[in-house]
Amino acid sequence: MLRALHELAYGDDLTIKQGEWDKLLESTQVRSAEFPLPPAAAMPAPVALQGLIPKRISASGYNSLVACPYQFYARHILHLNEMDEVREDVEKRDYGEWVHDILRRFHEQYQVLGDHIRIDLDSALLRISIETFAPAVQRDYLARAWLLRWQQAIPE
């Protein structure tokens, strides 16, 4: 349709005929610089002061570092997060961090599980779970649902 309209308007069907390429290339002006261009600058690498480097990063933080180091630098080193709003609700990320903290504390306390009675291990895991979730449960009643979800994942 475009070709038909162009032909009606300009009497040309938009096809380049044999031999026209040479004419088109000859009429194209290519200018060279009168002076040499400066060498391409190397991309600057972000450098963080030792005190600004986070001691721990989450899985999503690591993904951010791999995907785009500059984005990681802005978010995690300079603390320029997209959302500076106060978060009140519990997210899956929080749940994951709590579960990892529970397991870390449990295994620090009970390094060899076979040396302990099963009921002691179960009660310790429950106690550590409640302690870990307690601050969130006080702030947000929905955090209790995450605690119950975790408790249901513990084998009986």
Distances (CA, A) of 69 to 47, 56, 62, 72: 11, 16, 10, 5
pLDDT tens, position by position, 93-142: 888 999 999 999 999 999 888 888 888 899 999 999 999 999 988 888 88
Please state, rounded to an integer, the average pLDDT across all residues of the chain. Answer: 82
Q: What are the residue boundaries of the structural domains of the chain, listed by start? A: 56-85, 92-153
pLDDT at residue 46, as a whole number:
67
Tokens linked to 146: 């995450």
How buried is 133 (Cβ within 10 angstroms: 0-12 exposed, 13-18 middle, 19+ buried)? buried
Q: How many CB atoms lie within 10 A of CB 147?
A: 19
3-class SS shares of the chain: helix, strand, coil, % to 5: 60, 0, 40
DSSP state of 141: T
H helices of 28-117, where?
59-67, 69-72, 92-109
Confidence label for 42 from pLDDT (cuts 50, 70 and 90): confident
CA distance 28 to 7: 24
Residue 62 half-sphere exposure toward CB, CA atoms < 13 A: 5
Q: Quick check: 114 and 140 in contact, CB under 8 A?
A: no
pLDDT at residue 134, as a whole number:
93
